[in-house]
Amino acid sequence: MRVFPISFIAILTACVALFMGWQLSLNDSFLHNLTSLLQPNWLSDNSIKLHLTWWPRLFTTLICGAALATAGLLMQQVLRNPLASPTTLGVASGASFSLMMATLYAPWLIELSHSLVAMTGGLMAMGIVFALSWRRALSPTIVVISGLILNLYFGAFSSVLLIMNQEKLAGLMIWGAGSLTQTGWGNVAYLAPRIFALILIAFLFVKPLTLLQLSESGAKSLGVSLAKLRVICLGLAVLLTSLVVATVGIIGFIGLAAPAITRLIGVHRLLPKFLVSMLIGALLLTLTDLAIQRLPGLMSIMIPTGAATAALGAPLMLWLLPKLAMRSQTHTETILTRHSEQGRYLSKYTIWIALGIVFTGLFIFSSLSIGNNGWSWIFTTHNWSVLEWRLPRLLAAILAGAMLATAGTIIQRLSGNPMASPEVIGISSGTALGVIVVLFSGLSSSLTGMYIGGFIGALCAVGLIILLNRKSGFQPEKVLLTGVAITALMSAVQSIVLAGGDPRSYQLLAWLAGTTYYVTTDALIPLTTVTIILIAIGFICHRWLDILPLGEASTRALGINVSRSRMLLLLLVSGLTVSATLVVGPLSFIGLMAPHLARLLGFSRAKEHLVASIMVGSTLMLFSDWLGRQILYPQDIPTGMVASIIGGLYLMWGLRRL
């Protein structure tokens, strides 16, 4: 090992030691405090507090940090994707979802064992991911996409449960934000042996993993069963993650950041990489937690560590980004963005049919609905006034669907990454952050205030993306990572807000879920104009979208300025996302799903891909908006959630065929 990694770890250790020393020198003599670890003085409050809360917390953070880092490294190694992390495979959201379901519908399960419920959920999520990607021999790309879809799917379901049962699920939000408060040695005793055993098993696989690192075919020729290796390693990672998630809650970022930092400080061989990642993971989490405990007054209570690591990790990630050596784009080119030869062509005829479908849908959905007297058809009731409520929403749904689909298609083609979507590059998150700040700083809770805040947030996000990526020529992977960091920051802030139990947070949740509820008739004209202009620009750029996925070299050979075209497309995507987000909330999934669905339908040339995904996006949104208002009448389920529940099902079905 070179000097840099050692000194980096030394600095981290020194920081941890410093904080520990600080805590231990308070209230009593250092020696007494130190001995409280093993022999507490049962007559002294301070000693008991240290023995039963502080020390267990310290060990919990060390163990959890190491476990998450190992899990993250295993996943990144097996999936060969620097964005893979314990949360990527849906483990955390699976666990969270099963806990919610159990809390609401089978409380006796939780009485039986809280951890078991969470772990079952996590493992089930993993099982689904495996089942979806089995036919492709657990190909890394398919695994990551399946995980992502499952995450979104569980996320959407959980949000529906949450907005309908906010009071009942308040406790779960604290768990979701990863509070590390301990009140005894139970968790340490439970976690330590299990995690130690799992990590030992992981070490047995260092050698085959090293082979895999070289190349897939190389590993195969040396007699390593790829599928078996992937199942075992991912299984280990999932077990590690779900153990941590089940006992202390969701802790963001460590699993992603620790291996990334290890790579950055120049550790490349696998065995040292494991050891260094574990150390960094453990130290990072402990340091964050110790620092949070030392925050003055109530700040330390209001900020759960799990969310805080995510919030602190985001700037760290942003700072590290320019230093990250990225493989070139062709390397990450994937099945879903592959330039297929037998792409389906759209005739003018099909476009008319598709348009026809959208308008028929609009006609039916605006006239048929449940009302106070059950199902009613507007032509028999002649109650035309309800159109005032229905039409703006349905139209806005179509427009937003079209815009997000365009943005998603562009960003997926541009980045060659199937995980890319307007939400992933961080613009929606920027918007949401702006809204959170406006709502909770007490500036305003009116709609105009939310719009302005959201707009400023989005501008900041776009500014940050451009600032950080200008030098690297808007390399798609880096743009994505910037987005991941911004998104991590947003979700951290969101989970802190939700954990606090402030009743205002549910208004935020409803908005974040993506709803056309707030659209007014006045907003429709500007929205339509913007949609038409921006989508038209998208079509003008279709040649770039055909050429850019071919890779940088070919693009340049065709006389296109790669950097400039990427930046222009990025700006276009921002414009589309901001306008859609401001009107209908940061709908999280249309931008991701519509392009996928269009591709699954067989459209792969840029122009066809754009048209098809716009059609898919707007039809899906239209239907979702209508269904959301009927399915649990009179409850109004946000459009974005319904869209992701429907679209997610189709995506999973489509993945099987891939």
How far, rounded to the nearest angstrom, does the alpha carbon of residue 225 sit from its chain's CA centroid?
Answer: 31
- Shortest distance, CB of residue 447 to other proteins, whole angstroms? 5
Q: Is 275 in the site for other proteins (CB under 8 A)?
A: no
- Shortest distance, CB of residue 341 to other proteins, whole angstroms? 47
Shorter beta-carbon distance to other proteins: residue 88 or 182: 182
Question: Tokens 């109650």 label which residue?
Answer: 383
Q: Is 272 in the site for other proteins (CB under 8 A)?
A: no
For 371, phi and psi rounded to 5 degrees? -130, -160
Q: Is 559 in the site for other proteins (CB under 8 A)?
A: no
What interhelical angle do 114-133 and 140-164 show, nearest 10? 140
- Of the candidate spans 110-118, 218-226, 307-315, 574-582, the one that interacts with other proteins by CB under 8 A turns out to be 110-118
Q: What is the distance between the alpha carbons of residues 24 and 18, in angstroms, rounded to a whole number?
A: 10
Interacting residues of 45 by C-beta distance below 8 A, sequence separation 6+: none
Q: Is 189 in the site for other proteins (CB under 8 A)?
A: no
Q: What is the distance between the alpha carbons of residues 55 and 35, in angstroms, rounded to a whole number?
A: 11
- Of the candidate spans 182-190, 196-204, 394-402, 537-545, the one that interacts with other proteins by CB under 8 A turns out to be 182-190
Q: How many other C-beta atoms can be found within 10 angstroms of the C-beta atom of residue 542?
A: 19
Q: Under rule CB under 8 A, how many of the chain's residues touch other proteins?
A: 66
Shorter beta-carbon distance to other proteins: residue 79 or 117: 117
Q: How many other C-beta atoms can be found within 10 angstroms of the C-beta atom of residue 413?
A: 26
Looking at 29, 360, 529, 635, which residue binds other proteins (CB under 8 A)? Answer: 635
Contact 568, 411 (CB under 8 A): no
Q: Which tokens sit at 549?
A: 């996925």
- Shortest distance, CB of residue 522 to other proteins, whole angstroms? 9
Q: Is 515 in the site for other proteins (CB under 8 A)?
A: yes
Contact 643, 515 (CB under 8 A): no
Q: Which of residues 31-60 bind other proteins (CB under 8 A)?
A: 45, 48-49, 52-53
- The 3-state DSSP class for residue 122 equals helix
Write the single-letter amino acid at 611.
V
Contact 514, 587 (CB under 8 A): yes
Q: Which of residues 111-140 bind other proteins (CB under 8 A)?
A: 111, 114
Looking at 76, 182, 469, 555, which residue binds other proteins (CB under 8 A)? Answer: 182
Interacting residues of 203 by C-beta distance below 8 A, sequence separation 6+: 271, 274
Interacting residues of 500 by C-beta distance below 8 A, sequence separation 6+: 302
Looking at 130, 205, 253, 517, which residue binds other proteins (CB under 8 A)? Answer: 517
Q: Is 446 in the site for other proteins (CB under 8 A)?
A: yes
Q: Which of residues 140-169 bind other proteins (CB under 8 A)?
A: 163-165, 167-168
For 377, phi and psi rounded to 5 degrees? -115, 120
Write the single-letter amino acid at 275.
L
Q: Is 503 in the site for other proteins (CB under 8 A)?
A: yes
Locate all alpha helices (DSSP H) within 113-185, ordered by sequence: 114-133, 140-164, 170-176
Looking at 134, 190, 518, 650, which residue binds other proteins (CB under 8 A)? Answer: 518
- Of the candidate spans 28-36, 471-479, 502-510, 565-573, the one that interacts with other proteins by CB under 8 A turns out to be 502-510
- The 3-state DSSP class for residue 605 equals coil
| Residues forming a β-bridge with 369 | 376
Q: Is 502 in the site for other proteins (CB under 8 A)?
A: yes
Give the containing element (helix H, strand E) for 369. strand 368-371
Looking at 447, 467, 536, 540, which residue binds other proteins (CB under 8 A)? Answer: 447
Q: Is 385 in the site for other proteins (CB under 8 A)?
A: yes
Q: Is 584 in the site for other proteins (CB under 8 A)?
A: no
Q: Is 339 in the site for other proteins (CB under 8 A)?
A: no
Q: Is 445 in the site for other proteins (CB under 8 A)?
A: yes
- Of the candidate spans 79-87, 121-129, 422-430, 511-519, the one that interacts with other proteins by CB under 8 A turns out to be 511-519
What interhelical angle do 562-584 and 447-469 show, nearest 10? 160
Shorter beta-carbon distance to other proteins: residue 1 or 189: 189
Residues that bind other proteins (CB under 8 A): 45, 48-49, 52-53, 103, 107-108, 110-111, 114, 163-165, 167-168, 170-172, 174-175, 179, 181-184, 186, 297-298, 301-302, 369, 371-372, 383, 385-386, 388-390, 445-447, 450, 499-504, 506-507, 509-511, 515, 517-518, 520, 629, 632-636, 638
